[in-house]
Chains A and B, each alone.
Chain A
Amino acid sequence: MRLRVKFTKTGPMRFTSHLDIMRYFQKALRRADINVSLSEGFSPHMLMSFALPLPLGMSSTGEYFDVDVKDAPASDEMIRRLNEQMCEDITVLSVIKIPEDKANKCMSLVTGADYSVTLADGGKFDEEIFADGIQRFMAQDKIMAVKKTKRNEELTDIKPFIYSFYISEDLKTIHLRAGAGSVGHLRSDLVMNSLFEFLGLDAEKYELSSQRDELLSGKPEHFVPLYKMGEVMY
């Protein structure tokens, strides 16, 4: 059977790389004595699939991996056992059972992500500049930005992949919902930098901390968070 695990990654763990997080969970699953299935062949390994890698330095409350197991206890028990093995900056939030078909791998499911951007000192964004500024930013016909890929740099219109972008009522958090995954992936820092440039502000002067809140699947108008794509085990 296949399980999907949702976890947080915050604090100093932000500086632990994607590959190291994979190894961390392999060890944690063994310590928690979860009956994980191993691949056949010369060097048996756990069958795990991680959703979209998190940029180094960013914290998250919505990270995911899928893992094949031979059997598993109830979701609550599973969460408890895993959390006994976690370090202080990683917490397992949910474990669900998901269908085992190929289309359901969390790696390929992700089409969107929610981010929240705050000031590192926990203060408020300037109302005059930002509340109105973000509206004007989004009112543009096109938002041209330089998208860097592994191979080249390209000036593209990123607006179609910004699904929502607004500032909270208490002015402390800017919320962004953007395209993610293999198609239309948009980095949150690219959006923020475009905003600062549009507003004529020096991004260097603002110490921002950004967090990924959730990973989403489906079409933008019917996004479903990954943890809702299966069933809780009782």
Chain B
Amino acid sequence: MRKLALPDDVLLKVEKPGRYTGNEINSVMKSKDEVDIRFAFAFPDTYEVGMSNLGVQILYDMFNSFEGVWCERVYSPWIDLDKIMREKNIPLFACESQDPVKCFDFLGISLQYEMCYTNVLQILDLSGIPLYAKYRSEDDPIVIGGGSCAYNPEPLASFFDLFYIGEGEISYKELFETYREAKKAGLSRMEFLKKAANIDGIYAPAFYEPEYNEDGTLKAFGPVTEDVPATVRKVIVSDFKNAPYPKKPVIPYVQAVMDRMVLEIQRGCIRGCRFCQAGYIYRPLRERSLDEMKEMVRELIYNTGYDEISLNSLSSSDYEKLPELLDYLIGICNEKGINISLPSLRIDAFSLDVMNKIQDVKKSSLTFAPEAGSQRMRDVINKNLSEESILGGALEAFKGGWNKVKLYFMLGLPGETDEDVKEISHLCQKIAETYYEIPKEERNGKVAITASTSFFVPKPFTAFQWAPMNKEDEFLEKARMLKNEIRSEVNQRSMSYRYHDAEVSVLEGVFARGDRKLDKLIEAAYRNGALFDSWTDTFNSDAWKKAFEETGIDPYFYTARERSEDELFPWDFIDIGVTKKFLLKEWKKSQEAVTTMNCREGCSGCGARCFGGGICFAPES
């Protein structure tokens, strides 16, 4: 029987102890004497959130398929256990073996959103690994970060030995081989890191240094030693049609946020929405083959026992063989009593028809994401969605029996005027009117329209990476204005409005386009008690305010400042395929509200063609 890292009395004191005991169905046990590389794969958030991440499942499966490698999982202990571990000096451990993280060869940390950065420090701290990479000894694990936040790794650079830029399927095998050889040759930690820095997609921050101008902007950035590359190009799976996929994902006992099978139908997106980082960094669009997926679905059902399946992609409606795929899914799922959930679908006649088929008589609410209220603003962000098609989709849905609509918008988009903000309200009103155009006897009661706004955060590697971000009071003023406007609409009683917190958005903005100077800020906030910053209940505003004071860092330098066209960015040394020149062209087009066609309509020459695969090489349609 496995011995647990936590004694019974501790497990009985904490919330959901099943988070920490491992041994889940399809989790992998190996003998530690039979492997020479132990990889602790950490997700810096709760177990339930981390278990829902598809990337972790894909890499966990792949690493464990490698001879001599044992990959185990680590999650952030919740605040109750965090406190006990500090009091009792219990080191952080991995779910499978329950061994301390410190005895592993690698500690990989998944970086999916900026507000997990204090949890990164928690994981290092509880593991007993020095926070700053420069203080680590030969015995400490190699700490490597990956995921979408690794595309601007600089705010975290001081805390990591390596970053992996791109899709994990490509370079880990070589990294592990390099590690084995280095160990055999008796190389030091730094000698290994330098070798690693020469593997495609790997960035070793210790060998690069920034230089700053007096105003704090970046003057120069580059290697401080000759034998590492000046730029790091992302690595991606070019032949995605038959890319490996975890056929036996780990199935948690404690209910995960995503308690279902996930079918990744494609990677990347053809749309090119100018605010969307995922739309640029995951280019080009690559689709999985239909036959491969039919096989995958059958295996997943058999291996997991889940009663729900969900399609995963940035824009499912753009998958070319979606009708065929859905036909197949509906067939097999009806037979087995499995639900199908379809996020990120465009609302049109086709998708409504599909939803009618899979949802039977239950009509849950429909979600639209117009992102902006006015057509001008939707053109600025290149959303390529007309008011006509929004209202057309709504009418179809209402005729089909739906009466609840959720709408997602952003406030604070570049160049937004008061009129643009109010247009959000007017769009909701038009949707309400669309509902009441339907003869009364065909309506399904009253209509309920929920508008939600988030505050726009400019991200690196997007057309808006030059854009100034609104300050907190500007955000809140816009939210108030919108609220008043909604309250003055004729059908205001059918509408409700909610908006996200502005303070967290500003912090996200600081880190999204941050530089290496922010390490002190993250450390200070962590020391002041900030942890689980993405959770409303645990967000500690005072800890952050104090951290800004202590470090003298001005958040608005990172958020509210408009960057000049020739400014050197901390993330410019990373090559995502899409060129800075193309992004700048998009930034300028956005200021004139000129749209750009999507990748299927034609190539705009973004640069992603260099990866030799995907939509860039699709036959002209």
Contacts and interface: CB of A to CB of B under 8 A. Distances in A.
Interface of A: 11-13, 15-17, 19-21, 23-24, 26-31, 33, 38, 42-44, 56-57, 85, 87-89
22 contacts: A13-B253, A16-B18, A17-B18, A19-B255, A20-B253, A21-B253, A23-B253, A23-B255, A23-B259, A26-B305, A27-B304, A28-B305, A30-B301, A30-B307, A31-B302, A31-B303, A31-B304, A42-B362, A43-B339, A56-B12, A85-B305, A87-B23
A88 B12 contact: no
A89 B305 contact: no
A20 B254 contact: yes
Nearest to B19: A15
Contacts of B339: 43
B1 interface: yes
B32 interface: no
Contacts of A27: 25, 251, 304-307
Contact of A12 (B12, B22, B304, B362): B22
A31 B305 contact: yes
A12 B255 contact: no
Interface string B5-30: 00010011000111011111100000
A193 to B, nearest CB: 15
Contacts of A56: 12, 17
B2 A20 contact: no
B8 A16 contact: no
* Range class of the B interface residue count: 20 to 34
A20 to B, nearest CB: 5
B360 interface: yes
Contacts of B618: none
Contact of A16 (B253, B302, B306, B360): B253
Nearest to A11: B1
B4 interface: yes
B185 interface: no
Interface of B: 1-2, 4, 8, 11-12, 16-18, 20-25, 251, 253-255, 259, 301-307, 336-337, 339, 360-362
A91 to B, nearest CB: 13
Contacts of B18: 15-17, 20
A57 B337 CA distance: 34
Given A26-B305, A31-B303, A89-B23, 6 more contacts: A11-B1, A15-B21, A17-B18, A19-B255, A23-B259, A56-B12
A33 B298 CA distance: 13
A12 B6 CA distance: 10
A87 B17 CA distance: 17
B17 A24 contact: no
Contacts of B255: 19-20, 23
A56 to B, nearest CB: 7
Which of A16, A20, A43 is packed against the most chain B CB atoms within 10 Å? A16
Nearest to A45: B307
B305 A30 contact: yes
B22 A26 contact: no
A31 B362 CA distance: 27
B607 to A, nearest CB: 45
Given A12-B22, A12-B23, A38-B337, A29 B17 contact: no
B253 to A, nearest CB: 5
Contacts of B251: 27
Kindly list the 10 A-B residue pairs having the minimum CB-CB distance in the complex, ordered from nearest.
Answer: A27-B305, A30-B305, A15-B17, A31-B305, A12-B21, A42-B362, A16-B18, A20-B253, A16-B253, A57-B12
A139 B301 CA distance: 58
A59 to B, nearest CB: 11
Contacts of A43: 339, 362
A50 B8 CA distance: 25
Contacts of B336: 30
Contact of B4 (A12, A16, A33, A44): A12
A15 B23 contact: no
Contacts of A19: 255
Contacts of A30: 301, 305-307, 336
Contacts of B304: 27, 31
A12 B18 CA distance: 8
Interface centre among B17, B20, B336 (most CB of A within 10 A): B17
B253 A29 contact: no
Nearest to B339: A43
B11 A15 contact: yes
Contacts of B4: 12
A202 to B, nearest CB: 15
A85 B248 CA distance: 13
Nearest to B4: A12
Contacts of A88: 1, 23
Contact of B307 (A26, A33, A87): A26
Contacts of A24: 25, 253
Contact of B11 (A20, A28, A57): A57
B450 to A, nearest CB: 22
A56 B14 CA distance: 11
A115 to B, nearest CB: 17
A33 B361 CA distance: 28
A111 B521 CA distance: 60
B305 A13 contact: no
A47 to B, nearest CB: 12
A26 B336 CA distance: 13
A23 B254 CA distance: 9
